[in-house]
Structure 1
């Protein structure tokens, strides 16, 4: 019963810390590689191995929804975006579902603790805003080159705390004398669209692909659309 109460308390703390947060913090593995290591990374999940020694503290970072598996007993302070810290504690073997979160953990126990965190990638996002691009590939730009660039761009967007947002490239299968490709930008809402496009990582990636994108934009059909509520 005591262990069950600890798990429930941990779930409650994590839900409070993640409720209503706008995820703009950086990827934990990029901002704090000392404590966060990638064990598995594929199209469906990313699995992190997390280690903290007594007294060690991270930097503010974000995670998508997923599952935390505690390999050791733990006692930690979880500081949210508002600066308020809440204590959570439990035992080795605890398995906790966590929503999208932005936090800064600190080990306040007298022993190291270790966690396996499984981050989900396959949750469909309800897009409130889309950008639509119809175009033909310009001379000097290949399908693979563009698709690889969009994957890098999407990773930068995910690292900003917005997994699911980003760009998708399609090849038009019906005969069309003008357009051969369709690119879709998917965004949660207009506010998030603006935040992503004003972020340093998005601007850096956009600058990296500037020449290629400008060639595409010269002859594309471009539209923005918002979901009808």
Structure 2
């Protein structure tokens, strides 16, 4: 009987963390730094340390898929983006795979709880569509200017809830008469591509580099590619 109860609790916890495959809330570490601290980040993962005192409640936020490792026992509730509330509890040592999620947690226990969440950045779900750009830097545009601008664009995309999507800049190592640079845009799928490009955060970031991008686009080779399943 205890095994069944524990299984039910873990199932509710997974549902709680994974509710909603598509999500567009803001980055938890940016809107709620009191509860979410970035311990490590690179091109592959971001590792968050999540801590809640008794009674603490977060703001609605999002996470990409990854792994959650609970360091303490916990009793909490999750408010989802459709207004539902899911009650959950679990034990120190629980390790769970979590899908993309949008939620607002609250610690309902009498003690603090803590967990480590490893968010994945580069995975197969992020590469349903790619945009491909071959170009030469126009006069008045430096490699650093373009790289810094793409960093701002990627941050805006991350704030929309897609830290694994965005732009990557490469310098072509082979000799080529026309193109010296290659820029790759990586997107979960065509629908998400459209949603990101229609978002206010993306538009505001794109507006800052409009003159630079207009010059690049005037002579670039641009293609869109869909993943073949």
Structure 1 residues 4, 150: CA separation in 2 closer, same or farther (over 3 Å shift)? farther
Deviation at 1:37, TM superposition (A): 1.3
How many residues end up aligned between the 2 structures?
229
| Aligned match of 1:112 | 112
Hey, what's the Cα distance between the residues in 2 that align with 1:128 and 1:120?
16
| Aligned match of 2:76 | 76
**Range that drifts further, 132-141 or 122-131:** 122-131
Hey, what's the Cα distance between the residues in 1 that align with 2:7 and 2:74?
11
In the TM superposition, 1:52-71 aligns within 5 A as 52-71=52-71
| Aligned match of 1:135 | 135
Hey, what's the Cα distance between the residues in 1 that align with 2:214 and 2:197?
16
Deviation at 1:70, TM superposition (A): 1.9
TM-score, normalization: structure 1? 0.87
Structure 1 residues 138, 13: CA separation in 2 closer, same or farther (over 3 Å shift)? same
Hey, what's the Cα distance between the residues in 1 that align with 2:32 and 2:4?
31
Any unmatched runs of 5+ in structure 1? none
Hey, what's the Cα distance between the residues in 1 that align with 2:48 and 2:7?
20
Give the secondary structure class of the aligned counterpart of 1:138: coil
Deviation at 1:8, TM superposition (A): 5.5
> Would the aligned equivalents of 2:21 and 2:99 in 1 still touch at CA under 8 Å?
no
Deviation at 1:153, TM superposition (A): 1.8
| Aligned match of 1:29 | 29
CA RMSD of aligned residues (A): 2.4
Deviation at 1:112, TM superposition (A): 1.8
Give the secondary structure class of the aligned counterpart of 1:40: strand
> Would the aligned equivalents of 2:13 and 2:89 in 1 still touch at CA under 8 Å?
no
| Aligned match of 2:103 | 103
**Range that drifts further, 75-84 or 145-154:** 145-154
Any unmatched runs of 5+ in structure 2? none
